[in-house]
Amino acid sequence: MSEKTLTKEKFKEFMKIKGWPFLKNILINHNYVVSLILLLIIGRIASSNFLTFANITNLVKSSTFIGIIALGMTLVIISGNIDLSVGSILGLTAANTAIMFNNTHSIILSLLYAIVVGTLLGFINGFFIGKAKVASFIVTLATMAAFRSLTVQQGQGGPILINQEAYYSILRGLGYGTFLNIPYLVWIFVTIVILMILLMTKTKFGRYVYAVGSNEKAAKLSGINVDRIKIYIYSLTGLLTGIASFLYVARFGSVDTATAGKSFELDAIAAVAIGGTSMAGGKGFIQGTFFGIIVLYSIDSVLSALRVPAFVNDLIKGILILGAVLLQKVLNNRKANN
Amino acid sequence: MVVEFKNIYKNFGAVQALQDVSFSIGEAEIHGLLGENGAGKSTLMNILGGVLSPTSGTIVIDGTSYSHLTPHQAVELGISFIHQELNLVNDLRVFENLFINRELTIAKIYLDKKEMIRKSHEVFKRMNINIDPTLHVRELDTLEKQLVEIARAILFETKLIIMDEPTTALTDKEINNLFTIMRDLKNNGISCIYISHKMPELFAVCDKYTVLRDGKFIDSGFFKDIDENRATELLVGRKIIEDKDIHRAQLDTETVFEVQNISCPPYFKNISFSVKKGEVVAITGLFGDGRGELSEALFGARKLTNGKIFKNGKQLNLSSIKHVMKSGIGMIPRNRKERSIIKDMNILNNVSIAHFNAKHKKFLISTNEEIKRFEKNQKITNIKANSPKDPITSLSGGNQQKVIFARWFELDSDVYLLDNPTQGIDVGAKFEIYKLINYLAEQGKSIIVFSSEFPEIYKISHRCIIMYRGEINKVMNHDELNEVDMMFYSTGSNRKES
């Protein structure tokens, strides 16, 4: 009996010192975790197939393409900007990567090519935003249209097909293969997530991104070359989109120039918002975006498990995005008042 | 209107901005509100204007008690607040500004421009001034803008006008004109709260005075019963004693920082001066003197059209701020909230940011090294914080400013450009900043302080450069410094004839 009360007290003590602050921190700064857990519980109740190993890896796998892009979008939004062109960058880069692969039949060269093209397209955004100081919304709205147009021109309105023989013998394995029962795509995605977390928390560049987004003037007066940081951010987003484009080609084996990557930017922005990154800049986490994209993708499977007609999926998504951001606002206000 | 403050308290977090302030303002009275920056004048006036709510206490207006006011209530009661930064829309015309949010209409839809212009003419005539109501506000000079604000107050039956340092940008003639209008208003039964640092003006126009110091009520009475010495005593209080704690550091002969003939039109031109090792040079002037732009230019944040800057005899590369930082020059910008603190970052990251830029070579950041650097500088700057990982916004203004000092200590800069370093911090913290500046001077650092506060300049500087309209008008050594002369040269009074 006395032993029982002792452990109870110990538990209380522990909660007081470590537990509550920890939970509070999660609730306030990482509340996307709450939405994820809620969704997963609903899904689990609705269907016993939900939350199985295969189901989870599937979820992560299907979110890889937009997920990798959303990581770049996180930096863009933390720095107080926006990038509407990522979908078009993916289209243009994927189309060119497919052509490169047809010509070389080489994984390495295609990947490098995708990275170079993506980075270059991102750099174009960054140049106009950083150096010419045009609002990011306008620049990327323009390049969104321009890059898409170039892509469609390249495919003459139709798809760019990949040499099927070469695709099946060389590239397809990457898009469908597994290691330790986990798809390559998931390994790649998670590796990039970890690298990006390190970049944002452990390097000077990460600090500068936060500083620029939080107070550009102060960042400049601390000696940060703000224009250059913006160019780096957009180039990096282009680079990540390049990687996503390469994986896209590996997975789907052809690129429909009119639709490849279309409205990816919206899902990417939604993931960033659900993940708790402030649209005003200065605050946000890579891991938030990672959970954000998974929340976004698990909606589909939860809804189908609940036998909700697929037509209302986007309605639910919309409500969820709004709800997540409202929740953050309420919690942040409470924090400010304390 | 009779306004009575009863036991007003106002806290901002841990900072007590107002403590137990009680006094009253009578009918048709010009009431001078005195106090140094940070004494709580603006806080109190914002409470009266409904912008802030008092933590406790009541405001009694014409017999009715209020625990707090909303901005809407304040307007309804007839209280007008004329801010230091004028609240006019530059892109609208004068009459549109006068009637903003209270437009006259025909049938509730169409704006009745004719009537609004007619009424604007009427009110200007009543004030005995000549402003065309159809001009755009951006075409007006500062006095005219001020008068438009007052006209707006008169137009809507204001019973009390609060004026926050209305004369800083005005010439003597314009000031007299303003005073005539204020006296007219008084004769029409309108009360006025007049906030100013300038004793002669206060004595010229005000009937009663109230002095605040460190957020506390000190004294209230009639100006005719006191003289300027007594007023200054009330104003400055205990700080006269504290002054003894600050000794100016000994001067070295070695020149560290030298500016040769730099210009940046239209802000400033032909500026030359030099600063010795261990010297504190103050640069002062009034609104429009180009001092803020000069501070930016010295740090490489603003391009010069000609002139050179030398440090230790070597010409500075001004092409980027980073180059200037690496040459050993640090900067505390004015307007801390806007220009120096990074609000979403914690204290530690705010301190480290300059270090990363100029000194950090490694690929990854080590939090332990960061904390070690912080702790070293925390001791020197005396930052009061629970944990370096707390958000910077959890600190008081003074401690935030010390964090910004620490930012440059990490780089061990030799020259410090301090642009209005004690802006918006309370008196105690100000004193700590002065001690810090003195400490730096003793360490042989060279310091350039941009300030508009005479007591501050007097306390810390060896020499004071007074600017007028972008040029150096006068240089005064510490033993020549006095407030009257400083004002004389700041207003360009010595140049009036030319």
Q: Evaluate if residue A311 carries a pLDDT over 60.
A: yes
**Averaged pLDDT score across all residues of chain A:** 85
List of chain B residues with pLDDT < 50: 239-241, 244, 497-498
Burial of B222 (0-12, 13-18, 19+ CB in 10 A): exposed
Across chain B, which distance is largest between two alpha carbons, in Å? 77
User: Which residue of A211, A223, A283 is in closest CB contact with B325?
Assistant: A223
User: Which residue of A202, A215, A278 is in closest CB contact with B342?
Assistant: A215
Say if the Cβ atoms of A211 and B353 lie within 8 Å.
yes
DSSP state at residue A15: I
CA distance B277 to B312: 10
**B167 touches B143 (CB < 8 A):** no
For residue A157, which amino acid is it?
G
Which are the contacts of A98, defined by CB distance < 8 A and separation ≥ 6? A160, A161, A162, A249, A254, A255
Alpha helices (runs of H) in A179-312, residue ranges in sequence order: 184-202, 204-214, 216-221, 226-252, 264-274, 286-305
**A277 touches A289 (CB < 8 A):** yes
Is the minimum CB–CB distance between B343 and chain A shorter than 8 Å?
A: yes
Residue that is written with structure tokens 């004015």 in the block: B334
Structure tokens at B316: 């500075």
Q: Report the candidate in B443, B439, B397 with the shortest Cα–Cα distance to residue B421.
A: B397
pLDDT in tens, B40-81: 888 898 899 888 889 999 999 998 999 988 888 888 888 988
CA distance A295 to chain B (A): 26
Structure tokens at B233: 């005593």
Say if the Cβ atoms of B356 and A207 lie within 8 Å.
yes
Q: At what angle do helices B397-409 and B347-358 cross, to 10 degrees?
A: 30
Cβ count within 10 A of residue B13: 10
Which are the contacts of A277, defined by CB distance < 8 A and separation ≥ 6? A74, A77, A78, A283, A284, A285, A288, A289
Query: Can the peptide bond before residue B266 be classed as cis, meaning omega within 30 degrees of 0?
Result: yes
Structure tokens at B169: 């940008």
Is the minimum CB–CB distance between B342 and chain A shorter than 8 Å?
A: yes
The secondary structure of B441-469, three-state, reads HHCCCEEEEECCCHHHHHHHCCEEEEEEC
Residues in chain A closer than 8 A to B331 (CB atoms): 221
CATH of domain A33-337: 1.10.3470
Beta strand segments in chain A, E: 159-161, 178-179, 182-183, 254-256
Residue that is written with structure tokens 């230019």 in the block: B297
Topology (CATH) of B3-240: Rossmann fold (3.40.50)
pLDDT value at residue B37: 64
Say if the Cβ atoms of B321 and A223 lie within 8 Å.
yes
Strand partners, B360: none
User: Which residue of B325, B358, B364 is in closest CB contact with A202?
Assistant: B364
pLDDT value at residue A125: 94
Of residues B88 and A240, more confidence is placed in: A240
ipTM: 0.74
pLDDT value at residue B497: 47
Q: Report the candidate in A75, A63, A56, A53 with the shortest Cα–Cα distance to residue A293.
A: A63
Domain ranges of chain B: 3-240, 243-495
CA distance B321 to chain A (A): 5
Residues in chain A: 338
Q: Evaluate if residue A217 carries a pLDDT over 90.
A: no
Lowest mean pLDDT among A177-181, A184-188, B44-48: A177-181
Residue that is written with structure tokens 């010069």 in the block: B304
Alpha helices (runs of H) in B29-141, residue ranges in sequence order: 41-48, 71-77, 94-98, 113-126
DSSP state at residue B262: E
The edge-to-edge listing of strands for the beta sheet with B329-332 is: B329-332, B415-419, B446-450, B280-284, B463-468, B471-477
CA distance A68 to A238: 11
Give the side-chain half-sphere CA count within 13 A for B348.
Answer: 16
Strand partners, B471: B468
Strand partners, A178: A183
**A183 touches A57 (CB < 8 A):** yes
pLDDT value at residue B85: 65
Is the minimum CB–CB distance between B403 and chain A shorter than 8 Å?
A: no
Is the minimum CB–CB distance between B365 and chain A shorter than 8 Å?
A: yes
CA distance B173 to B155: 25
Average pLDDT over residues A316-323: 82
Across chain A, which distance is largest between two alpha carbons, in Å? 80
Say if the Cβ atoms of A210 and B331 lie within 8 Å.
no
Residue that is written with structure tokens 């240089």 in the block: B475
Residue B37's alpha-carbon distances to B82, B232, B456, in angstroms, are 18, 14, 11
pLDDT in tens, B336-376: 888 888 888 889 888 888 888 877 778 888 888 888 888 88
Is the minimum CB–CB distance between A221 and chain B shorter than 8 Å?
A: yes
The percent of residues above 90 in pLDDT, for chain A, comes to 40
pLDDT in tens, A91-117: 999 999 999 988 888 889 999 999 999
Please give the radius of gyration of chain B, using alpha carbons only, rounded to the nearest integer. Answer: 25
Q: What is the dihedral of CA B71, B75, B77, B78, to 10 degrees?
A: 140
pLDDT value at residue B241: 43
What's the start-to-end Cα distance of chain B, in Å?
Answer: 46
A interface mutation test: which of B342, B348, B392, B405 has the most A CBs within 10 A? B342
Structure tokens at B326: 């690496």
CA distance B311 to A328: 50
Domain ranges of chain A: 33-337
CATH of domain B243-495: 3.40.50.300
A3 pLDDT band, cuts 50/70/90, is low
Say if the Cβ atoms of A222 and B407 lie within 8 Å.
yes
Structure tokens at A165: 């023989």
**B88 touches B145 (CB < 8 A):** yes
Q: Report the candidate in B24, B81, B16 with the shortest Cα–Cα distance to residue B47.
A: B81
Please give the radius of gyration of chain A, using alpha carbons only, rounded to the nearest integer. Answer: 22
Q: What angle do CA A271, A276, A278 make, to 5 degrees?
A: 105
Is the minimum CB–CB distance between A225 and chain B shorter than 8 Å?
A: yes
Residue that is written with structure tokens 């279309």 in the block: A262
* B3-240 and B243-495: identical CATH topology: yes
Residue B384's alpha-carbon distances to B88, B379, B392, B397, in angstroms, are 40, 10, 11, 11
